[in-house]
Amino acid sequence: MASLGCSMSVLTFLFFIFVGLMSSSSEAAIKRYQFDIQVTNVSRLCHAKPIVTVNGRFPGPTIYVREGDRVMINVTNHVQYNMSIHWHGLKQYRNGWADGPAYITQCPIQTGGSYTYDFNVTEQRGTLWWHAHILWLRATVYGAIVIMPKAGTPFPFPQPAREFEILLGEWWNNDVEEIENQGNKMGLPPNMSDAHTINGKPGPLFPCSEKHTFAMEVEQGKTYLLRIINAALNDELFFAIAHHNLTVVEVDAVYTKPFTTRAILIAPGQTTNVLVQANQVAGRYFMATKAFMDAPIPVDNKTATAILQYKGIPNTVLPVLPQLPARNDTRFALSYNKKLRSLNSTQYPANVPLKVDRNLFYTIGLGQNACPTCLNGTRLVASLNNVSFVMPQTALLQAHYFSIRGVFRTDFPDRPPSPFNFTGAPLTANLATLTGTRVSKIAFNSTVELVLQDTNLLSVESHPFHLHGYNFFVVGTGIGNFDPAKDPAKYNLVDPIERNTVGVPTGGWTAIRFRADNPGVWFMHCHLEVHTGWGLKTAFVVENGQGQDQSVLPPPKDLPTC
């Protein structure tokens, strides 16, 4: 009887353990964070300067959550700049109030003010990131978001022994805001960065940087997951590890069909998860990143490095450098992006819209407008369909929700007003770029196809475009002018990659599709900060639906005011 009682107590104990696990996996947690925006003195490249940080950290803290969690992040602004934070890639269903772009979904948090970003993580898992979304402050105000799958749900790839976040960035020796302001006053591009960084550090190839080198230790025979984020302001980047292959398993928090590559290409705003096997001769190997640019435009071409170090290997062993693709390796870039495919499994389907309700065609153009006070009498501008976006003084979502007139117009053109040979001989003639706060209104739950077409106005160039509030499917891409009669027949409508930021190739086009099932006002812009500042942006006003859960949620009480 004693042994039976003991067995019963063990069974009872195991039962309650099981019930506890079941309840913990089904109940969402509330994750709370405090972000203090403050000035911190940091030294890089033999230069010390004050930078804007979160909690004194550069890069900022990682947000760790699980799919289904509620997240509450209180941001308190202690610096002289207005501030807003964008949770890049989170869909924020009906909750644009938590999206973060200043003057689009909220007024910025003023000096001394606070705002709590309150949102749910729904049907998303993987790597995303957060960053400042005002001025050029995301140069130092950024960090990773790691969303683990629901408890009990494994990765659809081999379980790694450990994970590392790898944040690629840029560093300027001088004050970033002063550099941007100087460029705007002169009407010219701001000075390029002085270094790229890996986790805020440029690596030992730069002066005064031996101690400013990120290193990660690995053990022979184990597999590691790298969560790679391009937080650079203006550069698409290659990334590789000497003598080690990378297996891509996810981009922008969407699982992919795995494929192996010697290097990855990652545009500003994008994330890429890769598996790395520690299967080489034990030693020290450089991880390296440098810019990709296949247009005649100057970029910061210096290589930043970090170190992958096998356990037990002394620091005196010199690391080996990887062979990165050439700076202008267009073939590698196109081939790499072509390999990206959605997993499209039973558990993770690719629900590509097959019928399109609204066809949009947006041209990407650079231009010069008159500026008597600028260096050459002109100012560089950027536009979509010949419209250079002007930021409002009242947040667009507030104006939309409260029906405030005069803040924006809903007549953004579906097509360029003056068709021409978009990617032909370079055109220096000004198309009289229009300026204004013009957006496009989209019916709730309608399906949209948007073709983004690069042009040779001043110069062709690759442009990474980010759409807030949505993922989209990249159904087609090509070099030259999009042909509506022939190119759609080549679309991939089975397993196209799904993401939130896509590169439009230099002198080419990209077609994306999405279902407009998230009501609100959603920013769409080039993620090259220099182009965004010149006006390469717009927004979609997605109308409310008919159901109770198809309208924008009421704003929070602590929403900042302009």
pLDDT, position 429: 59
pLDDT tens-place string over residues 335-355: 999 999 999 999 999 999 999
Domains 27-154 and 157-341 share a fold: yes
Mean of pLDDT over the chain: 94
Looking at the structure, give the CATH architecture of the domain made up of residues 27-154.
Answer: Sandwich (2.60)
pLDDT tens-place string over residues 261-280: 999 999 999 999 999 999 99
Strands 223-230 and 271-277 come out as: antiparallel
Whole-angstrom Cα distance, residue 440 to residue 22?
A: 45
End-to-end CA distance of the chain: 74
pLDDT band at residue 23, thresholds of 50, 70 and 90? very low
Mean pLDDT for 239-268 is: 98
Mean pLDDT for 417-438 is: 85
Locate 43 and state its tokens: 């030294």
pLDDT tens-place string over residues 363-421: 999 988 889 999 989 999 999 999 999 999 999 999 999 999 999 999 999 999 988 99
pLDDT, position 448: 98
Q: Are 505 and 462 in contact (CB under 8 A)?
A: yes
Of 422-426, 445-449, 472-476, the range with the lowest mean pLDDT is 422-426
Looking at the structure, give the CATH architecture of the domain made up of residues 358-550.
Answer: Sandwich (2.60)
* pLDDT of residue 504 exceeding 60: yes
* pLDDT of residue 462 exceeding 90: yes
* pLDDT of residue 147 exceeding 50: yes
pLDDT band at residue 28, thresholds of 50, 70 and 90? confident
* pLDDT of residue 473 exceeding 80: yes
Mean pLDDT for 29-44 is: 97
Give the pTM. Answer: 0.94
pLDDT, position 121: 98
DSSP string, 181-238: HHHHHHTSPPPPPSEEEETTB--TTSTT-SSS--EEEE-TT-EEEEEEEE--SS-EEE
Mean pLDDT for 305-325 is: 97
Q: Are 444 and 545 in contact (CB under 8 A)?
A: yes
Domain spans of the chain, in order of start: 27-154, 157-341, 358-550
pLDDT, position 548: 85
pLDDT, position 425: 86
Of 15-29, 94-108, 272-286, the range with the lowest mean pLDDT is 15-29
pLDDT tens-place string over residues 180-218: 999 999 999 999 999 999 999 999 999 999 889 999 999
pLDDT above 90 coverage of the chain, percent: 90
Distances from the Cα of 1 to the Cα of 5, 6, 436, angstroms: 6, 8, 84
* pLDDT of residue 486 exceeding 80: yes
Q: Which CATH superfamily is domain 157-341 in?
A: Cupredoxins -  blue copper proteins (2.60.40.420)
